[in-house]
A and B are shown apart, each in its own frame.
Chain A
Amino acid sequence: MEHLESFRAEVKEWLEENCPPSMRTGAKVDASSATDEVWGGRNAVYKNPESKLWLDRMGAKGWTMPTVAKEYGGGGLSKEETKILNEELWSIGAKQALLSFGIWMLAPALLEYASEEQKRLHIPRIIKGEIRWCQGYSEPGSGSDLASLSTKAEDMGDHYLVNGQKVWTSYADQADWIFALVRTGPQEPKHTGISFLLIDMATEGVSTKPITLISGKSPFCETFFDNVKVPKENLVGEVNAGWTIAKALLQHERNFISNFGLAGAASGGGNDVVTLAKKHFGEEDGKIANGIFRSDVTTHKMKEHAFGLTLKRAGDEGGKASAVASMFKYYGTEHNKKRHEMMIAAMGSNGVAWDGDEYDQEEKDLTKAWLRTKGNSIEGGTSEVQLNVISKRVLGLPS
């Protein structure tokens, strides 16, 4: 206890000295509304120099991945210490220093499956935000049925030769490296012919082409591999044993995405559906004036309360069990979609504003954020796929 108290004091003091003023304007932990977020990487442009400073300082401490061991560049903190760090960051309204697929997905998988050399090379660079990663899983013909993927990597003796196409690769055009699933065993059954390969996007033969979404933005791309030479040491785990790593990584991804369901970690400028409803429908005796909307809000908020408690319970029970990640992914994303639907519905015509000066930026952003949430129940495995996982792996229903 005493140790934790002095740790808290240290953190407070460090943050006081090191968190720049413009980085204390409210935490934004949602990846879906990108304005002044920091994703790091070789091509990063920092609109605000203090955000670069904040990243460098947090990265040097290893506090972008506080629980990772110091030898890999992490903070080396215990669970309790991490909790304290997060509380202190929260209490000064610190912005997330780094948003990163490396942190959310790749590093946890590398820690479990990569060689010592690979860990020492890649994890520190993720933690410091030096290298930005993207995820090369889906292909035009292989979405939910991911294991049918056909991008191939041929063993050329001293390197792999990669040919094929990935799609929906989020931020591929801005990423430095890609973690890709490739077919190394064309004769093997589909799950046992896949390997997990790390590829530098700067290698000759790698190219990307952005895809425009319904929100008008282009956060993802088609990614092409045309006779790309990849060093053999970039293979993680054994040849043809990549599917296990792929699945483990998906769980980290699903856990991450499921947190979107909670209003606390929300996009939409921290807007709350109750506040919006009172503003646009008006209030009667302090209540949302439209009774039917109020009742919808209530059931929605109660579900959110119970979902938040369920995340907490899973934590108290000692971490999210693997298949249960599917439950959180499913429920969190469906709930997040509903939350955005309710927010724009609460705002009436202001909730569907797109452009121009008659509506304020927050309103126009929310319209885009609403559309972005539609991808939540598709990315990282669709809702239907999550229900399949629950029914087979949790409930033991027959195939």
Chain B
Amino acid sequence: MNLYQQIAGAVESFVKRELTELSADMEKGDVDAWERCRKWLHETVLHLAPLSEEHGGVGLGEQELCGVLLELGKASASFAVALLSHYAGIYVLQSLNVTVDRNMFYASAGLLSHHVIAAPFIHNAVVVEAGRVELVTGDQLRERSNQVALLGLQGCSVFVTTSDVHAKELGELNLHEQKHIYARVQNLLAAVAVGNAMDALRIAEGYANERYQGGDVIIRHGIVQEILGRMKAKVLLSEAGVLKAAAGGTEDKLMARALAAVLCEEVCVDAVQLLGGYGYMKDYVVERKLRDAKTIAALDRGSTALFKQVIEEKLL
């Protein structure tokens, strides 16, 4: 078994054994549940996954990182996005040759979203704005920023930084580097969206196999089959796009992200629909999947703007 297979196995078993169950508590901001995830990351060293081996990390490539985030996204998009925000911080620090503290949890702003989206146990936020990179400590964020809640990804701490936060200048990224990191982060975000949608699809399919209406299990109704078929195709397409883009260029990544976000949101809308009234209730996880999917789709400037941006930038 190679390293990635080992990691994939560990992630899968954590998702099945613990994360799925923890996710509801994490959404409510339960500190213990988040703490359990933090410990698991330390145990598996996955918090250092994108850091190269020479810097003490795991050195996972982009496709592999997509796989990890996709798997985590199945159980908890909040956790996966918080981890991605940390990875984004690491990317920037690496790019600036700033040493990454192995015990610290980072978050970022300006790559994933303009807000700082973080795990509750965040230590530092790496803020990128027009190429300038600054570091803000978690304590300062907690004290001086406005904390807001989002439609989805609940349980994450979301800070809107205010001007009186004291930031430490770290350096500058050139436009090319910034774009490159931005695109990588966006593609990884798409992987979370795919994982989230895959799970919504799994739940909807399971429900359709059990729920009797119209004289039969609903999966036997043509329209339900069509909806499920479309959902599957959308998930398949999104996943393929994300994995291919992981090895591709900036443009591929942005397109994969925009498309996956749109398609995965549609999948989650349909999943709620297939569960009928039950799907709309908080006890059934799909409503959370829909809120998460919409939030992922709209983060930063939303998918519509991204589609446009890809072409617009080529013209410049």
Q: Do A and B bind each other?
A: no
